[in-house]
Structure 1
Amino acid sequence: MNNIHDMGGMTQFGPIPQETDEPVFHADWERKVFTMNIATLAFLGPVDRARHAVERMDTKEYINSGYYQRWLRGIEIMGKDLGYLSDEEIATGKAINHKETPHPPPDAAMVEGLIRAGVPATREDGRLNPAYKVGDRVRVRNLESKGHNRATNYVKGKVGVITHYNGSHVLPDSHAHDLGENAQPLYTVRFEAKTLWGENVERKDCVYIDLWEDYLESESKG
């Protein structure tokens, strides 16, 4: 979907501040939100749904929120979507209704395991015959979607070269909306900087982006 979260390639947002010896968490509440985000995967759903929840934030709220504030807002949005939270409960901080979760809440050991191991998205039973090979020139399809999508706007319609085939991976577009995993080939595609932003760039610069097969078409189709 098109929203302010897809800021890649945009200008006029000013420099990105760099903090010397920046801590992982600037406040204890950020640590708690990090843990909450991992723990709620057990019943709020996959990370793709969590990303889509953040994408649906109000534009002004998104810009004025920090990293973990967006995570917290995403948890609230998913909780409301699935009937675990209400606006009143969020406003008061008090539980009013109770909805059973499909799984028991994870304990500390389970949360630590998720953090250390992650949730692999590679699959051996998806679309296993790639349509493209390393060296192929492909164009990113200019697909408009109201749902979750991982093809950033600044590469849509642009031509790049496949540099690596990464196997079959869960398609976020489907997974975020309970439409199945739809695992398919994932490629790393190299784009010349001048292809993306014109001639006023360093000619040696390039960008590598991982893109699913459904996002691509052969250059010749254009």
Structure 2
Amino acid sequence: MNGVHDMGGMHGMGPVAPEPDEPVFHHAWEGRVHALTLASPTRGNIDAGRHKLELIPPAEYLRMSYYEKWLTRLEQLLLAGGFVTADELATGRADPAKPKATPVRPAATVQAALTAPYSYIREVGPPAFAVGHRVRAKVIQPKGHTRLPRYVRGRTGVIERLHGAHVFPDRHAHGEGEHPHHLYSVRFAARELWGPDAPARDSVRLDLWEPYLERA
């Protein structure tokens, strides 16, 4: 979807100021949010989680820190999945009238769940494009989740690498199944994206799914 999260090429957002020796977490609660997210029963669909971040109202999105966004996403996923109620989130206390279900992920199973290998790679038919093909990113305005940035739509690039077929996030995020498609690394010249004032030798590489692309 088109939203404030899609900031590529935007001006006026302030400087990027790397922090020397930046800690993994600036506050203890951030580490807890990270752990809760990884151990949550909602963890199975990364695309649905990304879409929840996109649905945060723009003013709130810009105000929030990184892990505040994570916490908001987790709360919304838990609500949507029926794992908690709005009153339980507001009070921080379990409703004593609610039945106590068997935990979806008991504490003893967390380590195995977090370290078990998983992959979004799938098997489908042959790819439509090959290395060296010139392609154009389609001009689309999706209302739902997408991994096609606005700044690249309508721009021409060159296929540099094939990654095989992967779960298609635009459908998967909305519970519509996996619908795997081939995924490509596409190189876009900086001047193609940003105009003649961009450095001539610079470029951007994006991993883009086949439905986003057409032959140029």
Q: Look up the match of 2:49.
A: 50
The answer to whether the 8 A contact 1:84-1:98 is kept is: no
Tell me by how many angstroms 1:103 deviates: 7.2
Tell me by how many angstroms 1:201 deviates: 1.1
Q: Look up the match of 1:24.
A: 24
Match of 1:140 among 137, 141, 157: 137
User: For structure 1, which segment, 104-113 or 5-14, has the greater mean C-alpha deviation from structure 2 after superposition?
Assistant: 104-113
SS in 1 for 2:188: strand
> Normalization by structure 1: what TM-score?
0.89
The answer to whether the 8 A contact 1:43-1:101 is kept is: no
State how far apart, in whole Å, the 2-side matches of 1:38 and 1:95 are: 21
The answer to whether the 8 A contact 2:159-2:184 is kept is: yes
Match of 1:211 among 208, 211, 216: 208
Equivalent positions of 1:114-193 (< 5 A) are: 114=114, 116=115, 119-124=118-123, 127-193=124-190
SS in 2 for 1:217: strand
Q: 1:140 to 1:53 in 2, by over 3 A?
A: same
Which ranges of structure 2 fall in alignment gaps of 5 or more residues? none
Q: 1:93 to 1:14 in 2, by over 3 A?
A: same
SS in 2 for 1:190: strand
State how far apart, in whole Å, the 2-side matches of 1:98 and 1:208 are: 50
Is the aligned partner of 1:200 residue 2:197?
Answer: yes
State how far apart, in whole Å, the 1-side matches of 2:190 and 2:86 are: 45
Q: 1:106 to 1:173 in 2, by over 3 A?
A: farther
The answer to whether the 8 A contact 1:122-1:168 is kept is: yes
Q: 1:100 to 1:123 in 2, by over 3 A?
A: farther
Between the two proteins, what is the percent identity of the paired residues?
A: 42
State how far apart, in whole Å, the 2-side matches of 1:102 and 1:153 are: 44
State how far apart, in whole Å, the 1-side matches of 2:131 and 2:104 are: 44
The answer to whether the 8 A contact 2:132-2:160 is kept is: yes
State how far apart, in whole Å, the 2-side matches of 1:7 and 1:23 are: 25
State how far apart, in whole Å, the 2-side matches of 1:188 and 1:83 are: 38
Tell me by how many angstroms 1:104 deviates: 2.4
User: For structure 1, which segment, 97-106 or 30-39, has the greater mean C-alpha deviation from structure 2 after superposition?
Assistant: 97-106
Equivalent positions of 1:72-91 (< 5 A) are: 72-91=71-90
State how far apart, in whole Å, the 1-side matches of 2:127 and 2:99 are: 43
Q: 1:85 to 1:193 in 2, by over 3 A?
A: same
SS in 2 for 1:166: strand
Which ranges of structure 1 fall in alignment gaps of 5 or more residues? none
Q: 1:108 to 1:154 in 2, by over 3 A?
A: farther
> Normalization by structure 2: what TM-score?
0.91
Tell me by how many angstroms 1:82 deviates: 2.4
Tell me by how many angstroms 1:106 deviates: 4.7
Letter in 2 for 1:52: H
Q: 1:9 to 1:118 in 2, by over 3 A?
A: farther
Q: 1:32 to 1:177 in 2, by over 3 A?
A: same
Letter in 1 for 2:8: G
Tell me by how many angstroms 1:193 deviates: 0.4
